[in-house]
Amino acid sequence: MTLWDGSYPFYPGANACFPFDTTRTVIITIFLSMLVIFIIILPGIRGRGRLFWFLRLVLGLFMGAVVLTVQFTRDWETGWVQANTSYKSFSPVQVNVDIGLHIGLAGVNITLRGNPVNQINETINYNEHFPWNFGADYDHSYSKGLEKGLPSPILYVAEKFSTQSPCTVHRQYRIAGHYASLTLWLAFCTWFISILLFSMSILLYGGHMLLLSAALIFFSLLFFFTTKNTQKCPIQFGPVSLRTDYGESFWLTLATGLLCLLLGLGIIILNSVQPEKLKLIFNLDKSSKEEVWDKSCLPAEPSCSAQDVLMVPLGELCQVTATQL
């Protein structure tokens, strides 16, 4: 391999193959830190309300973490294929590789991993991201890949999603990802409002907010589902083709939406049928009896005077015997 313009025509070292953005790690770390902090103060909660409080905490943090994290994941739609294909343009050399396609809301990741990793005196282990979110230029990223001299399988798959491709899937994925991301941000806001309402013991409206969160999550899934109905060009590598299916982020988002729906409906039904049990779950039941004060005559009331408070009937006076010292 010879130098060209001071650098190798192919990568001297491949990019690290991370299937998700590092933002995902930061979000998970923040939510786990919050969980640890609340677990530390858990022994300070007395009685049977400790278990209900812990369950509410885990479910609330789980829903918020999922809705926020899936914004940045790149496995809403994934696919893998193993093939013998050419590694470089205008070269008859064939390599055995695993080719992966990971589609997210903001772009597509294409991975290339050799079997084995070291072949033809090179390390075949690539992961390239091509964004299509608003504000990003997919074609520019594809052109940069051409300038870098990326392997032919990566460029072949990336070309299928470009605006110049006859597949015409770029616009559909870009719009669907944009609106799915927007509705998920709204779902995160409604989830946060529901947490505030529950902390202020406004349970009914908190349940309504959970239902709204579930509806927004389902809308985001519906937006992304529309991409499945588009006509896609086959991604063919010899006799095998690369096919994709819904990934972990899609199913995790669906499970979170169902969880929000069930919790919201459960809170609303309990509030109308058995409100006492709902108060018990949220530690709002008051087992201790409050003292009842006689408010018929308090000094703060204008109808009572200090003399009226101090007046005692003569018959109720206690006899006092005085002894002479």
Give the whole-angstrom CA distance, residue 104 versus residue 187.
18
Domain borders along the chain are 74-268
Question: Would you state the CATH architecture of domain 74-268?
Answer: Up-down Bundle (1.20)
Q: Whole-structure pTM over 0.85, yes or no?
A: no
Reported as a single tens digit per residue, the pLDDT across 50-93 is 788 888 889 999 999 999 999 999 899 999 999 999 888 777 88
- pLDDT category of residue 153 using cuts at 50, 70 and 90: very high
- pLDDT category of residue 231 using cuts at 50, 70 and 90: low
State residue 262's pLDDT score: 96
The 3-state DSSP class for residue 79 equals strand
CB environment 12-29: b (16+ within 10 A), e (fewer): eebeeeebbbeebeebee
Mean pLDDT of the chain, nearest integer: 81
State residue 96's pLDDT score: 92
Above 80 in pLDDT, residue 210?
Answer: yes
Give the whole-angstrom CA distance, residue 70 versus residue 21.
10
Q: What percent of the chain has pLDDT over 90?
A: 43
pLDDT average, residue stretch 101-119: 91
How far, CA to CA in Å, does 40 sit from each of 25, 43, 100, 108, 303? Answer: 22, 7, 42, 40, 52
